[in-house]
Amino acid sequence: MLTVQMQQLCRPTLHVDSFLYDEDQVDSLCESGTMSRSFCVTCGSYRTAPLDFISHSFSIPELQFIFQTVLPDLNGRVLVDVGSRLGAVLYGEISEEFVKLQNEIVEKYQLADRIKVLHTDVRLQETLLQNTDVLIMNNVFEFFMEPSEQVSAWRFITQNFRKRGSLLVTVPSLHESWKTLQMVPQPGWVEELPVDSEVYLDRHTDSETLTQIHLYRVL
């Protein structure tokens, strides 16, 4: 599915995990020739034109912004991360390889009493969603599911993530995700809360990236 989505992009794109590689590290890899930001429009060689980079993981600054600024104290709350990739936020991941790696780390650092990683489809987790206090979704469907499957997943979430006062963190916004799928906004489900990205800006932070983080509260 990722290959299909990649082919639909206007330009060749490299997927770089922002949790593992920050911009300075990517620059160093490009300078050393290990990676390239360019490609040949004729033969595909990475030599002549810039490449776009995309990540399906939060970077470390983004994680710090979310947990130190956007979200309240999470003590005693159930947090679910749909599509947890390398485990920076954690909960459920549909890729068996990522789940295996996450569980190895959970076991190594004796975190099993606080963290659970499931190899599952979110649409099979009705009870969990109904009891979730904080739901995090970072580009979780766009590149990995056909539009019809994305619509199905969103409908399941809106039907089951209903605990009053629960918080939803998304990248991109619900409006942007649903507009692409031609979905009608669900009235009375959530309200968007203000997120002030200016309070966290420093020389290592991309302000445009932080503005893509949206916070909602279940009504």
**Token code pair at residue 11:** 């330009």
CATH number assigned to the domain with residue range 57-218, chosen from the 4 options 3.50.50.60, 3.30.565.10, 3.40.50.150, 3.40.50.2300:
3.40.50.150
Extents of the domains making up the chain:
10-55, 57-218
Give φ, ψ of 215 to 5 degrees: -120, 135
Q: How would you class 38 by CB atoms within 10 Å of its CB: exposed for 0-12, middle for 13-18, buried for 19 or more?
A: middle
The answer to whether 151 and 177 have CB atoms below 8 angstroms apart is no
Predicted confidence (pLDDT) at residue 13 exceeds the cutoff of 60: yes
pTM of the model: 0.73
Structure tokens at 1: 């599915």
User: How many Å separate Cα 55 from the centre of its chain?
Assistant: 8
Q: What is the pLDDT of residues 145-177, one digit of tens each?
A: 889 999 999 999 999 999 999 999 999 999 999
Question: Left, alpha or beta for 198 (phi > 0: left; psi -120 to 50: alpha)?
Answer: alpha
pLDDT tens track for 77-121:
999 988 755 444 444 456 677 777 777 877 888 878 887 777 788
CA distance 15 to 201: 25
Rg of the Cα atoms in the chain: 18
- Per-residue pLDDT of 43-68, as tens digits, reads 776 665 667 777 778 888 888 899 99
How far apart CA 37 and CA 21 sit, in angstroms, is: 15
Distances (CA, A) of 190 to 106, 139, 151, 170, 209: 32, 19, 17, 12, 23
Distance CA 121, CA 55 (A): 21
Alpha carbons 42 and 62: distance in angstroms, whole number = 36
User: H/E element holding 214?
Assistant: strand 214-218
- Which tokens go with 141? 């469907």
- Average pLDDT over every residue of 179-196: 92
Higher pLDDT, 150 or 20: 150
- φ, ψ (nearest 5 deg) of residue 3: -60, -40
3-class state of residue 74 by DSSP: coil
